[in-house]
Amino acid sequence: MEELYEQLAVCIEFGKINQAAPFPPNMKGQDGAEEITKQLLEAGADAGEVLEKSLIVGMGKIGVKFRENKVFVPQVLMAAKAMSTSMDQLKPLFAESNNVRKGIFVIGTVEGDLHDIGKNLVAMMVEGNGYEVIDLGTDVKAEAFLEQLEKTPDCILGMSALLTTTMVNMEKIVKEVKEKYPQQQICIGGAPVNQDFCEKIGADSYNPDPQGVVEFLDNMAS
């Protein structure tokens, strides 16, 4: 079974979704994340172990490669798609078992901004690393973040902005959240955002890549 865990981690890392998928070319015709996850579960593997030994390992490796500019957005998207294919089989098992996720991460692109590629990358990377992710979508107003905080008070918030014009809204939303929940942890990201802006608006963490968000969450969870 250990060999299957390793094979699944490789499929996640290189974005091999299933046997029919042509990507990556050097794995053409081989079983992908869909088949190997099924084989593991049929062999009696625990969903939590599949997550820990395969998905987290594979997503961690692609996350580090992305940070080091060894791969680019398309490869990360393929890895995330392979991860999602595996997660589709694991989620029902998590729901009916006592497997505990690491924590809850709520993410959204802030009011006025409809860009979602960066947000989606972060959401998929975080989910693949063992967290429950609640994606509020794009153009998310302060009220929606606050509503979600009432439902999931133990979550960590993630906010994304791709436009310099919507950074103003990010600042406003962080302020409103912190006024009501001073201890709420908020991490921010997006092309125009940097550490100085993070400190200026009172957010708790700025990360230029998805792997940084995962590391921040892991630090908070430990």
Q: Of 49, 78, 96, which marks where a domain is finished?
A: 96
Tens-digit pLDDT profile for residues 6-18: 999 999 999 999 9
Q: How far is CA 117 from CA 24, 43, 47, 88, 182, in A?
A: 21, 36, 28, 21, 29
57, 113: one domain: no
Cα–Cα dist 208/118, whole Å: 10
Say what angle helices 56-67 and 210-221 make with each other, to 10 degrees: 130
120, 174: one domain: yes
Query: Domain residues for 12?
Result: 2-96
CB-based contacts of 47, cutoff 8 Å, min separation 6: 41, 90, 93, 94, 97, 99
Whether residue 99 is predicted with pLDDT greater than 70 in this model: the reply is no
161, 125: one domain: yes
- Are 159 and 108 in contact by the 8 Å Cβ rule? The answer is yes
119, 212: one domain: yes
Cα–Cα dist 119/191, whole Å: 11
Give 178's DSSP letter: H
- Are 159 and 171 in contact by the 8 Å Cβ rule? The answer is no
166, 214: one domain: yes
90, 117: one domain: no
44, 142: one domain: no
CATH number, domain of 73, equals 1.10.1240.10
130: alpha, beta or left? (left if phi > 0; alpha if psi -120 to 50): left
Tens-digit pLDDT profile for residues 34-81: 999 999 999 999 998 999 999 999 999 999 999 999 999 899 999 999
83, 116: one domain: no
Cα–Cα dist 67/106, whole Å: 22
Cα–Cα dist 167/10, whole Å: 37
Q: Of 68, 96, 124, which marks where a domain is finished?
A: 96
Q: Of 96, 128, 145, which marks where a domain is finished?
A: 96
pLDDT computed for residue 98 by the predictor: 65
- Both tokens of 9, joined, read 């981690």
87, 191: one domain: no
If one compares 91 and 110, the residue with the highest pLDDT of the two is 110
Cα–Cα dist 141/196, whole Å: 23
The total domain count for the chain is 2
Helix (H) or strand (E) holding 149: helix 142-151
Give me the percent of the chain exceeding a pLDDT of 90: 90
Tens-digit pLDDT profile for residues 113-129: 999 988 998 998 999 89
124, 76: one domain: no
60, 149: one domain: no
Q: pTM of whole model > 0.75?
A: yes
- For the residues 83-108, what does the mean pLDDT come to? 88
69, 144: one domain: no
CA 7 to chain centre: 21
Could you tell me where the beta strands, DSSP code E, fall in 179-222? 186-189, 205-206
